[in-house]
Structure 1
Amino acid sequence: MASIIVCSGPHDGHVSPMLGVARHLISRGHRVRFLTGPAYADAVRALGAEFLALGEGAAYPPPQASTATGVAAIREGVRALAIDPARGQYEPLAAAIAAEPTDAVLAEVTFVGAATLSRLPREQRPAVIACGILPLTLSSQDCAPYGMGLPPGNGRGSRLRNRALNWLVMNVVLRDSQRQVDSLVRELVGAEKDGLFILDWTRRVELMAQFTVPEFEYPRSDAPDSLRFFGPMSRHAATGSAKPAWWGDLDGPRPIVYVTQGTVSNEDFTALVAPTLEALAEEDVTVVVSTGRRPLSALPPLPANARAAEFLPDAELLPKVAVYVTNGGYGGLHYAMENGVPIVVAGDTEDKPEGAARVAWAGAGINLKTGRPKPSAIRDAVRKVLDDPRYQAGSRRIGAAIAASPGVDGLMDELDTILAAKKA
């Protein structure tokens, strides 16, 4: 039995996949402590793990606090995810490691406390495993900088573009952010800067466990040997959740279009849900809306062909769905592709431009390239996806790769190998 700490920022989309990891660790007999926000204490304890609370200032700000896009969003994201929460994440993590022997720390990739821990020499810390719950952030000569939402391109010209943009982001856009991070690390663990870019911290860890498949990630010829693809954690979600009274309506002959803004960016339904309802009100489809646990009263009036619920069991709904309309949350995209559902995606904040760009690059759907699409654009995209079988074929291709991926069991096996190597 190993002693393991699992870490996550305090948001559903971050915590949920890490709870799946923790569940499997416990099933293999490991002792698990789970470090996250207090809102998730009951869910952690229900697994049989010990709850550890994040420190002051470690909570991420609400996504609606900013509407920045592109490189400005990258700068704000680094501040919000990698600078402001650093102390409140690292100090309770360090205290937990000091309190008892710890064999490994598994942290989702935005958890900067683990990034700070990784700056210590290997003999002074547990093994660190970074879990990729977002599109891969690693900079590369083969890809544009993370956050720009640009596909990698082909040929020498694209490589020159990528190199120039990466240099610009590292040396101009995020230069001051890099200095702040280096100063914080020096204060917290005494480590001097090592020349590694902020978004590349996972190059230091023993394992970079990306929760997708290679078919949904840009190839990188310069990726570290520690990078592994395990597929999404969505397949491990529970089924059998309560269904709304209208569930039987989904068995009719009309195609089902499922629209949601997820559980994080769901404060303003005028961004995507409302224009989708307007766009499809006269179409021969059934529109299903999930509010992401927000009250139904927050929705605009529903047209006759629409149904809504605060929460829906995706594992049982998506096999019925013909088109998934989303703002691009990473988990939801994988749920759709796991079920071979083509996607219409409209997202331009946080990590969503990266997920949206990958949907189009992989041929699994249409990227509307905005977070506030017009109803006419949504209607045209839904019609196109319904009429053109190539989008469903693209989604099914990735779904087949997901089905063949090693999943969390593969991650557990890699962890066992890392722990055995440490003991040898």
Structure 2
Amino acid sequence: MRALFVASPMVGHVQPLLPLAIALRDAGHDVVLATGPEGLAAGRSSGLDVRDVAPGLRVMPVFMGQALAHPLQARRAAAGEEREPSFVGVLFSALGARMADGVVRLADEWRPDIVVQEALAAVGALAAVRRGVPLVVVNMTFFDAERLFAVTAARLGGVARRHGLVHLPEPAEVLGTAPPSLVGSRRGRPMRFVPVPGDGAAPADLTRPGARPRIIVSRSTVADPRPDRLMSRVVEAAAGMDVEIVLARPDKHVSRGPLPANVRTTEWLPFPAVFPAAAATVHHGGAGTILTALAAGIPQLVTPGAGDRAVNAELVAARGVGLAIPTEQITPADLRRLVGDPALKQASRDVADEIAGMPAPAELVEPLAALAR
């Protein structure tokens, strides 16, 4: 079987596809991953055959252009007020339109038997319908996968017609990585979330529990030139506390200033290697970071924010595996609860067990091969 994987050119969108792609490759199938420049390194770190289908594409200018073209939607999304993923469809369909020619060209040259895409890379559907093969959607978010696919695909009609295609197909299968206890029952097959560490080894001491509870603080992998108030707020709240604060990839505004003795900074950290030894994490609310913390069984403090981050934070709090607190409202009491509340710890361990019980990517190889026959 020849499987074409398609991902938006962002680390957090490439990585969730890698465990399944690797499982197919290791089972003897041919796999190619199509993405853009900002996703290439994440894909190639796994040893997969990765193709750049949109040379020169930069994500942030595309997103900023769409925000300027749709200012009201953009403001609502930035404030976390969108309960449905409408503006995300605007953003990712614009990315997909710029990837379309390369994806279709690759599909025509490589002739896949099946196309696997992440939910927001609806451009993968162009390749599937072009080749007349099944489309599989891997959902790495907490939104409904078919809704995400629909809002993105709906804006690619013009691109489809330009390639001589009348419509984009519905997914033949959906694979969901979100634990049902957070999002409820959904159509499709569950697939265990397998964290991808990426390149680089973790500092040895961070892979072991320390003398004090350790809180790892991270921010989005999406580049943002603005000061990061999340990290500076945690530093302020943790001053004088008997905890160890680790700031992963702090921006220059934080790292240039004086830091308390219980705070240290690091470069990129492989979270799958360091989360199990931590007491908790504080982060921006990205789905990948949430799932990595859940798989490690540690409580998390999530700051509601733009896009899906408000919904993600609510789900974490509702399940009892963490706290949802706006950045400027984080207090020392919140950090003490984060590392000391037995209920948060138990709920986090329960969800880790739930994730471990979901089918591994390798268990889905044969069903996908059967779908492609």
Do both share a fold (TM > 0.5)?
yes
Task: Tell me by how many angstroms 1:395 deviates.
Answer: 0.9
C-alpha distance in 1, partners of 2:274/2:262? 17
1:254 has 2:212 as partner: yes
2:139 equivalent in structure 1: 132
Q: Is the 8 A contact 1:7 1:34 kept in 2?
A: yes
Which residue of structure 1 aligns with residue 291 of structure 2?
334
Deviates more, 1:249-258 or 1:28-37: 249-258
Match of 2:347 among 394, 397, 410: 394
Q: Which letter maps to 1:108?
A: E
Secondary structure of residue in 1 paired with 2:98? helix
Task: For 2:363 and 2:164, locate their aligned partners in 1 and report how far apart those are by CA, in whole Å.
Answer: 32
SS at match of 2:107: helix
TM-score by length of 2: 0.84
1:90 maps to: 100
Deviations 1:201-232 (A, max 9, x none): 8xx1111111222122234xxx44xx111121
TM (norm. structure 1) is 0.74
**Alignment map for 1:96-111 (pairs within 5 Å):** 96-111=106-121
TM-aligned CA distance change 1:300 to 1:324, over 3 Å: same
Confirm or deny: 8 A CA contact 1:60 1:85 kept in the other structure.
Answer: yes
Return 391-400 or 55-64, whichever deviates more: 55-64
Structure 1: distance between partners of 2:352 and 2:311: 19
Q: What SS does the aligned partner of 1:263 have?
A: coil
Task: State the one-letter code of the partner of 1:380.
Answer: A
Q: What CA deviation, in whole Å up to 9, does each residue of 1:249-283 have, x standing for no partner?
A: 97543211111113226644533111001111121
| CA drift at 1:391 | 1.0
1:131-159 deviations in Å (ceiling 9; x for gaps): 1111133579xxxxx8xxxxxxxxxxxxx
Structure 2: how far apart are the matches of 1:91 and 1:26?
Answer: 26
Aligned to 1:328, what secondary structure does the other structure show?
coil
Q: Residue 31 of structure 1 aligns to which amino acid in structure 2?
A: D
Question: In the alignment, residue 112 of structure 1 is paired with which amino acid?
Answer: A
1:209 to 161, 164, 175: 175
Q: Is the 8 A contact 1:263 1:291 kept in 2?
A: no
2:338 maps to 385
> Which residue in the other structure is 1:52 paired with?
51
Question: What number of residue pairs does the alignment pair up?
Answer: 360
- Specify whether residues 253 and 46 from structure 1 end up closer, same or farther in structure 2 by C-alpha distance, changes over 3 A only: closer
Q: 1:266 to 1:351 in 2, by over 3 A?
A: same
Distance 1:72 1:184, change over 3 A: farther
Distance 1:263 1:382, change over 3 A: same
Cα deviation, residue 298, structure 1:
4.6
Deviation at 1:192, TM superposition (A): 5.5
Q: Is the 8 A contact 1:286 1:306 kept in 2?
A: yes
Question: Which consecutive unaligned segments of at least 5 residues does structure 2 have?
Answer: 68-73
Of 50, 60, 76 in structure 1, the residue corresponding to residue 87 of structure 2 is 76
1:160 aligned residue? none
Do residues 231 (structure 1) and 192 (structure 2) align? Answer: yes
AA partner of residue 134 (structure 2): A
Q: 2:319 aligns with which of 362, 377, 384?
A: 362
- 1:196 match: none
1:179, 1:132 → 2: CA distance? 18
1:272-303 per-residue CA deviation (whole Å, 9 max, x = no partner) reads 111001111121111111017x6697554321
Residue 109 of structure 1 and its aligned partner are, at CA, apart by: 1.0
- Distance in 2 separating the partners of 1:190 and 1:111: 17
The 2-side partners of 1:268 and 1:11 are apart by 19
Rounded to whole Å, the distance in 1 between the matches of 2:43 and 2:181 is 32
Q: Contact conserved, 1:57 with 1:85, CA < 8 A, in 2?
A: no
Distance 1:218 1:47 in 2: 31
Measured at CA, do residues 44 and 387 of structure 1 come closer, stay the same or move farther in structure 2, by a change above 3 Å? closer
- Counterpart amino acid of 2:14? V
CA distance in 2, matches of 1:113, 1:139: 14
Deviations 1:182-208 (A, max 9, x none): 444444443259xxxxxxx8xx11111
Paired residue secondary structure (1:71): coil
Task: Please provide the CA RMSD for this pair.
Answer: 3.3
User: Are residue 190 (structure 1) and residue 165 (structure 2) matched?
Assistant: yes
Give the 3-state SS of the residue equivalent to 2:5 in structure 1.
strand
Give the drift of 1:94.
1.7
Match of 1:130, SS state, is strand
Match of 1:314 in 2: 271
Q: 2:203 aligns with which of 243, 248, 267?
A: 243
**Cα distance in 1 between the residues matched to 2:174 and 2:303:** 28
Q: Structure 1 unaligned runs (5+)?
A: 141-145, 147-169, 194-200
CA 1:316–1:50 in structure 2 vs 1: closer, same or farther (change >3 Å)? closer
